[in-house]
Amino acid sequence: MSFTEHCNTIFSACTDYYHQMDNVDAAPENPYECKSIDYYLFLKNWIDAVQWHLEDIIRNPAIGLQEALQIKRRIDRSNQDRTDLVELIDSYFLEKYSAIKPLTTATLNTESPAWAIDRLSILALKIYHMRQEAERHSAGVAHCEQCHEKLRILLEQQKDLTTAIDQLLDDIEAGRKYMKVYKQMKMYNDPSLNPALYGAK
């Protein structure tokens, strides 16, 4: 099993685990050793699963303004947690490949391994929910058929992205590509950078 296939296994299991409780306030039991890469991958998908459902809740037209504001701020915090975790996962790869000397012809990839793996985590959730819709008995035949086709495309996308990430990791290990990670430097959560927080006119 490749590293990325291993990621898919963890993401799928975590997505299933979340939906056993189906509660944005549930406290997960991470089954992996603390601060291991598997621990971070599980936590990454858990954050994504909770945020997925917060995004659903906030779009309910019957939601009150105060509750919507609280959820919006919770989503903002979740986005920051997600970014911090992706950077932690990239740190794992930087350490893993720190002794690799890139070839003189080595090129830079458009995104880091962890940000590509972030997309795999989201795909696991899309696949889970699209499968639910494709099999929803209360929906019409046309709806289910459309969702089955979308599910087919999502599964193909997952396969392609899995292959592409594994190729990227192989290229980094062989020195054909090199990693260069930029911190996201998000400004809206930083009281020293967001004018609405530091009181600028």
81-108, pLDDT tens digit by residue?
999 999 999 999 999 999 999 999 999 9
43 within a domain of the structure (yes/no): yes
200 within a domain of the structure (yes/no): no
- CA separation for the pair 186, 192 (Å, rounded): 11
- CA separation for the pair 68, 86 (Å, rounded): 27
163 within a domain of the structure (yes/no): yes
199 within a domain of the structure (yes/no): no
13 within a domain of the structure (yes/no): yes
Residue in 112, 113, 49 with CA at minimum distance from that of residue 82: 49
84 within a domain of the structure (yes/no): yes
- CA separation for the pair 61, 22 (Å, rounded): 21
pTM of the model: 0.89
The mean per-residue pLDDT over the stretch 183-200 comes to 66
65-74, pLDDT tens digit by residue?
999 999 999 9
Number of domains in the chain: 1
Structural domain boundaries, residue 158: 3-193
Radius of gyration of the chain (CA): 19
Residue in 103, 120, 104, 117 with CA at minimum distance from that of residue 169: 117
